[in-house]
């Protein structure tokens, strides 16, 4: 049983948790992988390894216990109920970004009175010649907005804070968005009027170029090989991992492993991908755990996310 993330003297709010579960199950029906969240907007279940000694192998859910953050994210109704049963104090749910089938990208706009982020986004759109399409918009208790967009499956969008513009954060691979219907310590998240019926819209190409990390030389070489039809045996995926910089290594490896298992090359590429990840500085045990998480996700044997 995972260790609770709430104070032990805080009684569980059953009606609120039940409502959060209902919203989470509804999101899962739309293909969105979810995890339970506490009132602090953090994952409701603490890691079962929080007392492990330093230097213990990194676990991304291989132990079979809940409490691995977005690695627990799933669309399986039975597993979602299991996660919420383990966290009856949960008052909301998080939606993992970057996962198939939607490859969700969240644009988190802080519109507090002391910020001009709406203006900053408009100026960004004018400068780079794009418009935000009609899409799902979630209103936050603090007055902010979350725009839901979808990215292409072959592009990893990293998380960032104020890199796009001051006060505008991006939730990509390895991140999550607080789902509508959730309640935090500051209030409820709700879908903006007129957007609940919409599907997440594709992210404009010009905006994607701003969100994506700049291509490294290895990326360009791999792209040239794919264009010429010579990317056989998953060499493009291996080069993609080799091009990872610090802060991207785990995310890129997870994405590449997912693509490998989706195309049937997973078992063949396990060792080459592990070797590539080690070359970038990722410890071998962490690389293997990440690849195993990707395999579980694609094979449908359990939740995994990054």
Angle formed at CA 201 by CA 127 and CA 21, multiple of 5 degrees: 130
DSSP designation for 74? B
3-state SS class at 80: helix
- Maximal C-alpha separation, the chain: 62
Beta strands 183-184 and 187-188, pairing class: antiparallel
Count the neighbouring beta carbons within 10 Å of the beta carbon of residue 284.
12
DSSP designation for 89? T
Query: Does this model's pTM top 0.75?
Result: no
CA distance 189 to 200: 17
In this structure, what token pair is assigned to residue 248? 């991207």
Q: What is the pLDDT of residues 131-181, one digit of tens each?
A: 989 999 999 998 899 999 999 887 888 888 888 888 899 998 889 999 999
What is the dihedral angle through the alpha carbons of 27, 33, 38, 43, rounded to the nearest 10 degrees? -170
The CATH architecture to which 104-211 belongs is 2-Layer Sandwich (3.30)
Q: What is the pLDDT of residues 199-215, one digit of tens each?
A: 999 999 999 988 876 55
Q: Can you give the length of the chain in residues?
A: 306
> Has residue 247 got a pLDDT over 80?
no
CA distance 6 to 281: 35
DSSP designation for 259? H
Rg (CA), the chain: 19
Q: What is the pLDDT of residues 270-288, one digit of tens each?
A: 988 998 888 888 888 888 8
The residue ranges of every structural domain in the chain are 14-96, 104-211, 217-299
> Has residue 224 got a pLDDT over 50?
no
3-state SS class at 29: helix
């Amino acid at each position: 049983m995972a260790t609770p993330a709430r104070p032990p003297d805080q009684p569980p709010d059953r009606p609120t948790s039940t409502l959060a579960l209902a919203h989470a199950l509804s999101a899962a029906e739309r293909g969105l992988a979810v995890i339970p969240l506490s009132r602090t907007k953090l994952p409701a279940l603490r890691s079962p390894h929080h007392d492990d000694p330093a230097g213990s192998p990194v676990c991304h859910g291989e132990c079979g216990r809940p409490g691995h953050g977005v690695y627990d994210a799933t669309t399986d109704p039975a597993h979602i109920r299991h996660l919420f049963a383990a966290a009856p104090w949960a008052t909301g749910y998080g939606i993992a970004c970057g996962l198939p089938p939607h490859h969700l990208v969240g644009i988190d706009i802080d519109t507090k009175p002391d910020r001009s982020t709406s203006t900053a986004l408009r100026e960004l759109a004018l400068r780079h010649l794009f418009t935000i399409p009609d899409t799902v918009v979630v209103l936050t208790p603090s007055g902010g907005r979350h725009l839901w967009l979808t990215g292409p499956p072959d592009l990893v969008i990293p998380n960032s804070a104020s890199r796009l513009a001051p006060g505008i954060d991006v939730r990509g691979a390895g991140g999550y968005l607080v789902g509508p219907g959730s309640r935090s310590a500051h209030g409820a998240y709700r879908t903006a009027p007129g957007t609940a019926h919409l599907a997440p819209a594709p992210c404009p190409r010009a905006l994607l170029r701003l969100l994506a990390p700049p291509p490294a030389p290895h990326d360009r070489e791999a792209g040239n090989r794919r264009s010429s039809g010579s990317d056989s045996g998953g060499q493009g995926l291996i080069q993609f991992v080799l091009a990872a910089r610090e802060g991207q290594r785990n995310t890129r490896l997870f994405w590449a492993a997912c693509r490998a298992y989706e195309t049937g090359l997973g078992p063949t590429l396990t060792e080459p991908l592990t070797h590539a990840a080690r070359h970038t500085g990722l410890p071998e045990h962490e690389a293997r755990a990440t690849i195993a998480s990707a395999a579980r996700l694609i094979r449908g044997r359990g939740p995994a996310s990054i």
